A and B are shown apart, each in its own frame.
Chain A
Amino acid sequence: MKLHSIGEFEELVLLMVAALHDEAYGVSIQDALVEKLSKNINISAIHVALKRMEDKGFVKSRFGGITEDRGGRRKKYYVITALGKRMLDSQYELRTELYKMMPKISFGR
């Protein structure tokens, strides 16, 4: 099976899902990303990314229990799959490899 490609934003979301492990759902992912990136991210973008990655098999989801503070709606928690982890690994390797290929250039202070 050919490995699906992954977009830059999707990769960020996937990393965050992995990082938040078991506590990752729409709002928590958004909050964490906003904090790390210090830029505004719309919740719809996160929902789209999660949906696409779920289709590709990078994440899987389950529903949590009912809580009052969401108008009685359940949270949908995401966890990273083995495939997702492999995708992150390969992306990480690719980047480090490329990073290492970079000659030691001085940018001159």
Chain B
Amino acid sequence: MNVKPPNWPLRFLRWFCSEDYLEEIEGDLTEIFISRHEHSPAKARRQFFWNVLKHFRPEFIKSLKLKPRYNPTIMIRNNFKTSFRNLVRNRNYAFINIAGLAIGIAVCTIIFMIIQFQSGFDNFHSKKDRIYRVLTEYHHADAATISYGKNVPFPMPTSLKTAFPQLEQVTPIYASHNDELQVLDDNGTPVKNFKEKTGVFYTDPSFFSMFDFPLLAGSYASLKDPNNVLLTKEIAETYFGDWKTATGKSIKLTGTYRVGAGLFQFPPIVLKVSGVLASIPANTDFQLKLVVAYGTDFTGDKEYGFQNPDWNGTAPDYGCYVLLPPNISVDNLNQQLKEYSRKVQSPEKKDSYIIQSLSAVHYDTQTGDYSNKTISRQLLNVLWLIAAFILLIACVNFINLSTAQAVNRAKEVGVRKVLGSNKSQLQMQFIVETFLIVTIAVVLAAGISFFALPSVNRLLELSLSFNVLNNPAIILFLLTVTIVVTLLAGFYPSIVLSRFNPVNALKSKRATGNAKGISLRRGLVVFQFVIAQALIIGTLIIVKQMDFFMNQPLGFDKEAIVNVPFRPDSTASKLANYLRQQLLSVNGVQAVSFSSHTPVEDDNDMWSTFKFNHAAKEEDFQAITKFADNEYVSTYKLQLVAGRNLQQSDPTKEFLVNESLVRSLGFKKPEDILNKEVSIWNGLIKCPVVGVVKDFNDRSFRQNVAPLLITTNITMYRQAAIKLATNNMSSTMQSVKKIWEQTFPNYVYDYKFLDDKIESFYKQENQLSQLYKIFAAIAIFLSCLGLYGLASFMAVQRVKEVGIRKVLGASSGNIVYLFSKEFIILITVAFAIATPIAWYYMHQWLQDYAYRINISWWLFAAGGLAAIIIALTTISFQAIKAASANPVKSLRTE
């Protein structure tokens, strides 16, 4: 009968109509439908629907009492049993399935933990919703661009308190860098030296009424008085052995601070430990180590320090946090702040102030935070995406293998159907089977993540721990993954399997609709390889760009140069010449130069506005200003294109500039700028240009070469650059260390090789490239796992075909070709899809760098070729096995 009543109304009827009347009603309706269908099919269908609806009345509706049909627990127990037997019987498939899923889920779990950690920053403060930080909104000269900085003018905190009495708390905070500390014994003599690169904060007690950092001993209020310091438990233990005895002890601190263009230092001060803070959690941007009372040292100085009432004065990492009262409009407050900034600032300055909520700080990669741990939401999203894709690849493997295997299980399904199972029971059985596999995989994945976490922590500098008790969200996540993957991976195969027609299945006819299944499977393989190849190509490009970062000539010498910082105090200036003589006498030291900065710095430069050639107005661009002695050019092998090198002199007498500055000023030839006067710092330094150096990369590859001024000034030198001979480097370094410690007995010797420093500019890129390598490897591994399963299945399916072909004269090569051909086509299709996707995203990524590689075609070719080779190797095991099998064996039995 080819005329059938519409499906949905019929289903509805069957659903609501009681068994007693269903047959009669359905029969009558069908009869009417069929007779009407001849006249007008559409009308007949409509009428059928109406008739069904009209039967929807109490007389015919099923009674609501559910009839107990079977005992589901026994059935499910049986499902588990048969599923388990099935897994044991098909060990190979089960292994591939479980291994693939476990790896996919492990990757997801680790990414979940990373994201959970990253999005939980500063989440533990009880007042977190009301904490805001004040940002400076810089309006640049060209008006169109606005940027934000976390530094605020020195008078900001105190004046906010008076101008905005509604603010509950206003806290100044200063994060200091590279502090030298000496632990003093009871007589005040130094016992041990320490250097803290970060972690020394200056703030007042209001900080602790805003943020929740518990105290173990002492009081927060002690920070009201200058020269008190709180230590964290860890620091107290390193300094004093036991944190309980730390309170009341003394430490000597030599702190430095930068104001505007210069690095300054006050004489060392003695601090009294007035309390101990509990360990600082890893997920906060305030990685406190020592908290010094605000008002101590330069933070209390009205003339040169932070109490200076000048609204132009600020220091990097000098910030201000405010605690808003509940229910205040942030927009409104921002508006008032804007008006207020007009009032307090000198009229020519256009900067204004704005508040930003604490929850946004961790994601604000532009502005940054105090721990340099900001992460963009975009990166987190990419991580999510990769996690989802890898999980999808694993699910696809599963779907592929189970539908491929379905044919083998057709008989089982047939027998079950004949014995009375209905579709939903069969689907239940396969879902249970999937569930079993997924559960095993999840348990394995938990194990894998547990063992992989330490390396992930090392790579990404995190401190994640797979501690279920502390982090119940992991359990929840794993449960969700179990359910989602079970449904995702089990749903389609269960439908396919339960759909078999028992008659065909038992007659061992191949199930109908197989062609469709194969095209779906092909689609899934293509999908897997699109992701895998996109990741491979992306990784190749990132690695190439990383290689470019490391090996592209910068325009100066960075090999075997070690930088040793020294203190910016007057003794260092006096000692400079002595130090140079001492160092040069060491065997293996080739050159020594003192300078404020190395040739390349990453956002650590001193920028100056300047007047050129007695102009009345300052130029509309700024130049990086470096102070360096006459050895700078030769030590770093800078090239002069015009004029001569600087001469040793103490009051600043001459400038070197770079080509970029010459161009920015509009000169065509570098010679033209010679002997013209440059004036910086409001005329404090005024002298002629004596030479032009060839452009070298004075910033990271993210940015273009900036205009540059180099001049001498011994009080500005902060580090020695020592060029070493490449042999016996370690013994040379030993001698350097010895000289250093003799010269500066009170300070910790510390050094960094220039190429390491340059490498550290690209730390995030490096981490990203490592991550991508791992992800690409996992993606290709999972895809190949699926491919292997599919190929082995095909080999089993086509064993007779292969036998016949061999009998008819096909060589082993022909058979291998037969197997490989299809997969090569699939991978080529995947390649065609992956290439534009990868190109687009990597092109976007490369736009962040002013200096970047060209995406050349061979990168894609290499990616595609790699995928094809890996895939062919995977298939070849099965293909060769099938090709070398004896055809007699496969053809003998029918």
Task: Please report A residues at the B interface, Cβ cutoff 8 Å.
Answer: 25-27, 30, 42-45, 47-48, 51-52, 63, 68-71, 73-76
> If A71-B4, A76-B23 touch, does A26 touch B51 (CB 8 Å cutoff)?
no
Most chain A Cβ neighbours within 10 Å, of B4, B21, B28, B51 = B28
Contact check, B27 vs A43: say whether CB atoms are below 8 A apart.
no
A74 and B51 alpha carbons, distance in the complex (Å): 19
Q: Which residues of A contact B51 (CB under 8 A)?
A: 42-44
> If A42-B54, A47-B55 touch, does A25 touch B28 (CB 8 Å cutoff)?
yes
User: Which of chain B's residues 8-45 have a Cβ closer than 8 Å to chain A?
Assistant: 21, 23-32, 34
B34 to chain A, nearest CB (A): 6
Q: Is B331 part of the contact surface with A, judged by Cβ < 8 Å?
A: no
Q: Which residues of B contact A63 (CB under 8 A)?
A: 23
A30 and B27 alpha carbons, distance in the complex (Å): 14
Return the contact of B28 from the options A27, A45, A68 (Cβ within 8 A): A27
Q: Count residues of chain B with CB under 8 A from any CB of chain A.
A: 21
The 4 A-B pairs of least Cβ separation, nearest first, read A73-B27, A26-B28, A44-B54, A76-B24
Q: Which residues of B contact A47 (CB under 8 A)?
A: 21, 24-25, 28, 55, 59-60
A50 to chain B, nearest CB (A): 9
Contact check, A74 vs B28: say whether CB atoms are below 8 A apart.
no
A28 and B452 alpha carbons, distance in the complex (Å): 76
Q: Is B863 part of the contact surface with A, judged by Cβ < 8 Å?
A: no
Residue of chain A at shortest CB distance from B23: A73
Q: List 16 A-B pairs, Cβ < 8 Å.
A: A25-B28, A26-B25, A30-B32, A44-B55, A45-B54, A47-B24, A47-B25, A68-B1, A69-B31, A69-B34, A70-B27, A70-B30, A71-B30, A71-B34, A73-B23, A75-B27
Contact check, A48 vs B31: say whether CB atoms are below 8 A apart.
no
Known: A68-B1, A70-B31, A73-B26. 10 other contacts (CB 8 A): A26-B27, A26-B28, A27-B31, A27-B32, A43-B29, A44-B57, A47-B59, A51-B59, A71-B34, A75-B27
Q: Which residues of A contact B28 (CB under 8 A)?
A: 25-27, 43, 47, 70
Q: Which residues of A contact B60 (CB under 8 A)?
A: 47, 51
Contact check, A26 vs B24: say whether CB atoms are below 8 A apart.
yes
Q: Which residues of B contact A48 (CB under 8 A)?
A: 57, 59
A43 and B24 alpha carbons, distance in the complex (Å): 11
Q: Label chain B's interface by main secondary structure.
A: helix
Q: Which residues of A contact B29 (CB under 8 A)?
A: 43
> If A27-B31, A27-B32 touch, does A74 touch B26 (CB 8 Å cutoff)?
no
Q: Is B5 part of the contact surface with A, judged by Cβ < 8 Å?
A: yes
B322 to chain A, nearest CB (A): 73
Q: Which residues of B contact A45 (CB under 8 A)?
A: 54
> If A44-B57, A69-B34 touch, does A51 touch B27 (CB 8 Å cutoff)?
no
Most chain A Cβ neighbours within 10 Å, of B21, B25, B27 = B27
Residue of chain A at shortest CB distance from B33: A71
User: Which of chain B's residues 731-755 have a Cβ closer than 8 Å to chain A?
Assistant: none
B47 to chain A, nearest CB (A): 10
> If A42-B51, A44-B51, A51-B21 touch, does A71 touch B26 (CB 8 Å cutoff)?
yes
Residue of chain A at shortest CB distance from B1: A68
Residue of chain B at shortest CB distance from A42: B54
Most chain B Cβ neighbours within 10 Å, of A42, A43, A51 = A43
Q: Which residues of A contact B5 (CB under 8 A)?
A: 71
Return the contact of B30 from the options A25, A44, A73, A76 (Cβ within 8 A): A73
A77 and B54 alpha carbons, distance in the complex (Å): 21
B61 to chain A, nearest CB (A): 12
> If A51-B59, A68-B1 touch, does A43 touch B23 (CB 8 Å cutoff)?
no
Residue of chain B at shortest CB distance from A47: B25
A71 and B4 alpha carbons, distance in the complex (Å): 8
A10 and B57 alpha carbons, distance in the complex (Å): 18
B414 to chain A, nearest CB (A): 22
> If A42-B54, A43-B28, A43-B51 touch, does A74 touch B21 (CB 8 Å cutoff)?
no
A43 and B21 alpha carbons, distance in the complex (Å): 13
A47 to chain B, nearest CB (A): 6
A80 and B219 alpha carbons, distance in the complex (Å): 101
Q: Which residues of A contact B30 (CB under 8 A)?
A: 70-71, 73
A70 and B30 alpha carbons, distance in the complex (Å): 5
Contact check, B27 vs A71: say whether CB atoms are below 8 A apart.
yes
Most chain B Cβ neighbours within 10 Å, of A25, A26, A70 = A70
A68 and B29 alpha carbons, distance in the complex (Å): 14
A76 and B21 alpha carbons, distance in the complex (Å): 10
A47 and B52 alpha carbons, distance in the complex (Å): 12
A105 and B851 alpha carbons, distance in the complex (Å): 115
Q: Which residues of B contact A44 (CB under 8 A)?
A: 51, 54-55, 57
